[in-house]
């Protein structure tokens, strides 16, 4: 009888512990490095003679939100739109003007206002220099353009 009671108690205790399961869901949110406000701190182009400075005509601040929306603000007002970055495997020129064919990110920004003004930027490559700067390049068939964005 004692063996039966001891065995029943052991089964009951084992059942209690096996039926109570605690679970803890941990969600790790990796923030997109583009999220935040940026301004174009430098722009240059590369041709057969080398790199030279250009005026990008973008004196304002871009704000990129984690949900893919974008805003551009300058002295003329605000523009709203979207940004998109994809991982691609195509040929491109990097920030030093070297042609490569590996996997990389491209980057696109499209913003506009209610008055017909718009900014459409497409970059073949984007590379980050820590959290405070990224460089985006575009090849137009003749020249390579390089835009350096700095965190605002």
- Given a cut of 70, whether residue 27 has pLDDT beyond it is no
Mean pLDDT on 59-68:
97
For the stretch 94-108, pLDDT in tens is 999 999 999 999 999
pLDDT averaged over every residue in the chain: 85
Confirm whether 89 is domain-assigned: yes
Confirm whether 74 is domain-assigned: yes
Percent of the chain with pLDDT over 70: 80
Range from 15-29, 113-127, 130-144 carrying the lowest mean pLDDT: 15-29
Confirm whether 136 is domain-assigned: yes
* CATH code, domain with 48: 2.40.128
Q: Based on the structure, what is the number of domains in the chain?
A: 1
Judge contact between 9 and 1, C-beta under 8 A. Answer: no
pLDDT of residue 51: 96
- Given a cut of 70, whether residue 17 has pLDDT beyond it is no
Residue 30: pLDDT band by 50, 70, 90 thresholds? low
Task: Domain of residue 66: give its range.
Answer: 35-151
Confirm whether 28 is domain-assigned: no
Cα separation, 76 vs 82, in Å, equals 19
* Token pair in block for residue 77: 């007002």
């Amino acid at each position: 009888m004692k063996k039966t009671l001891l065995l029943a108690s052991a089964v009951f205790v084992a059942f209690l512990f096996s039926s109570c399961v605690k679970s803890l869901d941990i969600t790790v949110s990796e923030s997109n490095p583009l999220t935040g406000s940026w301004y174009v701190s430098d722009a240059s182009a590369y041709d057969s003679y080398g790199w030279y400075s250009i005026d990008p005509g973008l004196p304002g601040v871009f704000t990129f939100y984690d949900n893919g929306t974008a805003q551009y603000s300058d002295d003329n007002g605000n523009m709203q739109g979207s940004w998109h970055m994809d991982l691609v495997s195509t040929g491109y020129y990097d920030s030093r003007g070297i042609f490569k064919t590996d996997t990389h990110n491209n980057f696109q920004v499209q913003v506009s206002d209610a008055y017909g003004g718009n900014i459409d930027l497409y970059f073949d490559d984007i590379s980050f220099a820590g959290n405070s700067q990224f460089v985006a390049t575009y090849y137009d068939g003749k020249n390579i353009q390089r835009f350096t964005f700095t965190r605002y």
